[in-house]
Chains A and B, each alone.
Chain A
């Protein structure tokens, strides 16, 4: 079964249009949604979570267009709990909000993250707030975890802890994660699939490994670049002294040296091309 299916989803705003968005997140998989600020990542997640209605297309979570929200854990970039509450208070509130609330799981996460139960949230650091949000999202029998820019602005040590939690969560193959980010960080190590949104449209959605092996960076001069099959070139960056191009390895002559590419570079080159 698929955790998430989006088919030809569109949403129009006065200044921005999300156009023909389709992708699938299978159960047991982690999808990274990447793209620059304002590309349409958050709008896509809001549509998915039912916080906004699409103008067209179909959205299914757990195979239905009306999924049980009890099993979806959500983490936004800002901690959305009232600042005057403590972690213990948050637990009490959520216990009455979710039928599936697991107080022992929540308590275990607070211990694991070393979050003081009685301290008010306004006195938490950004990393602590984010860990609290994740603890809450994972404590109501969540099978799907949706994160919107949740880890931007966190230090590498905290990101590493969070990566560990995601891996633990994904030990169950009936779980799935969809996370959006405008920075391609170490967290993407866990991603099985990558969907890249640019100016409201999907540029590609495929297996991360395949993507990274399909593309490469060619550093060359204008003459060499012009000689290439134009279908092989997916973006060019020019300076006074050299030319860099994002190329499809299979479509350029084997005699040329093509360097490995990072997701960041794919994003930058592709954004420039459009």
Chain B
């Protein structure tokens, strides 16, 4: 598992951890049942405080991506396809918002945008 934490980015460190682990689960790199490093081991590897890794794991658990078993550790949750789909949909929507904003700046219409999307989707 690779996690890349940037101190320069404005994104809080716990947030960088949660979004990257979510990404690894959604992309299929991490599978249901895979063990994650302990919070203390991850803190050591990333050279951050335990409170930060604890917060990241707690958020992932709350969002249903991880299950923690006391005394055993944290594991990737049984894939909840609906959850994964919803997460993807959220990401698609937010990126499309960015596209719309860019299109507006460049004076492109909805039809222009649809055309671009159709071409890209069909892989022409």
Contacts and interface: CB of A to CB of B under 8 A. Distances in A.
Whether chains A and B associate is yes
Nearest to A212: B12
A217 to B, nearest CB: 13
Interface in B1-35: 10, 12-14
Interface residues of A, number: 20
Interface residues of B, number: 16
B12 A191 contact: no
Contact of B13 (A170, A191, A209): A209
Contacts of A84: none
A173 interface: yes
A208 B44 contact: no
A191 B49 contact: yes
A173 B40 contact: yes
B41 interface: yes
Judged by DSSP, the binding face of B is helix
A170 B40 CA distance: 7
A189 B49 CA distance: 6
A7 B76 CA distance: 42
A29 to B, nearest CB: 7
Q: Which of B40, B43, B49 has the largest count of A CB atoms less than 10 A from its CB?
A: B49
Given A28-B50, A192-B50, A171 B13 contact: no
Interface string B81-112: 00000000000000000000000000000000
B51 interface: yes
A213 B48 CA distance: 15
B57 to A, nearest CB: 14
B47 interface: yes
Nearest to B43: A167
B50 A209 contact: no
A168 B44 contact: yes
A59 interface: no
A213 B44 CA distance: 22
B44 A209 contact: no
When A and B form their complex, which 7 residue pairs have the shortest distance between CB atoms, in order from nearest? A167-B44, A192-B51, A192-B49, A171-B40, A189-B47, A209-B52, A192-B50
Interface of B: 10, 12-14, 38, 40-41, 43-44, 47-52, 55
